[in-house]
Structure 1
Amino acid sequence: MLVVDDHRKIRDPLAAYLRREGVDVRTAGDAAAMQLLLQHERFDALVLDVMLPDGDGSLLCSGVQQRYGLPVILLTARGEIDDRVQGLERGADDYLVKPFDPRELLARIRSVIRRRGRSLPPAGGRAEPADSSPTPPGLAWPLQPAADRRPVYRFDNWHLDAALCRLERDDGLRFVLSDTECRLLEVFLNHANTVLSRDDLLSLTQTAGRHAEQAFDRTMDRQVSRLRRKLQDPAREAETIRTVRGGGYVLVSRVTPHNA
């Protein structure tokens, strides 16, 4: 089983849970690492996040299906019907919206593998006694240890729970950001109303107190563009993150951080 998600707080606890259930799991944080693993190892199924820093999971899905014949379950923070239909039309075997219960994901994994005439170890099989703490019923992802709580930022009609990478608007619209997006937005919020060059953003994201797994220099514009789309607000005419010609980017907002 291969799990691909750039959000560590989803990827690592999910892998630990699946291993406790007897599933042999490898993980990757981006599309490049996924491709390398697929080239050198064989897997029964792929759990693939739609929004990766170096690729669109729904677009990658069809290529993986054609080349490796793997059943694919897409994970996404977007629950709109058009997104689900698009993923399924591009070859995904199933689709799950974050946050989700890991037991449901495991059931879906077993189902798609069973349809291919294969099987995983029976439910409840414990392959790894280490890290055997029980998973509470109804557990939702992403997980976050209490000791690692980070600030909640309030800005415009939004608030960001940086520990959970959860971005929510006052009207209830919610996104679970990737680790990459969350790290970048937190940098903007900590330097609100200040013009940041691409070099500034690269340096600050790599020292923001989180694991800098990806090099942002080649994807910075795309990451900023993704954040800008998520922050679109019909109640606000001007964009929250603005481009400064020859200078970089600036987040224009009054930001109020407080402890979660």
Structure 2
Amino acid sequence: MPVADLETPASSRPPHLLVVDDDTEISGLVKRYLGPQGFSVSTAESGAQLKEVLKSTHVDLVLLDLGLPGEDGLELTRYLHGHWRGPVIIVSGRGESVDRIVGLELGADDYITKPFELRELLARVRSVLRRSDRQAMMEAPTEPRSTLAFNGYRMDTVAHALFDAQGIAVPLTTGEYELLKLFLEHPNRVLSRNDIMTRLHGHDAGPYDRAIDVQIGRLRRKIEGDPTRPALLKAIRGTGYIFTERVRRE
């Protein structure tokens, strides 16, 4: 199993992807396709191998199959969210919306079902990496520092971090951060589900409508005083959502 050169500066390394799938034909195909696209790709066939690679290798993104034999892919998603800070794309043959929704609830950044177009997978990987903390740190030297302040919170758009009124970091997944940033950049404007999906992922909502609602719910639990009575992120029936608070750019 390939291991990244730990002495190579991060700015000169290609993004390192870890494909976790017990089907070696699929993981091999993904590796052969993504390698020439500018990525370093490692593979793992189980949760145990996944954890070993993360211990010994710098990984920028995990492509995780839910259907690993004898293991619960959703539990592995939970493990990654709790023990690793990088983005996760679930790649699975399970097309049911409940799996997609639960995966996003547990902290996954995107979800693609098998069979998939390799070009779509590439687009999803690039999109998630653009939104990841690693990409933000690579761009930090040339990006001017900017803070979006609202209701006692401060979002540092360079560090990709949100802080409460006491200066304590609010833990956000990459998807939650980008979703909140989108609303902060468009305050007091109704955004439909299609607006949100197009701006964040480059495609219409379609069957992902419920996934957007799930992410909104997760975000409310982190920034609203009472998430059951949201005062900041309000739903507009039959349309979408609006962020009602005044936002200051500092």
TM-score by length of 2: 0.49
* Structure 1 or 2: more helix by fraction: 2
Flag the structure with more relative contact order, 1 or 2, with Cα contacts below 8 A and sequence separation at least 6: 1
TM-score by length of 1: 0.47
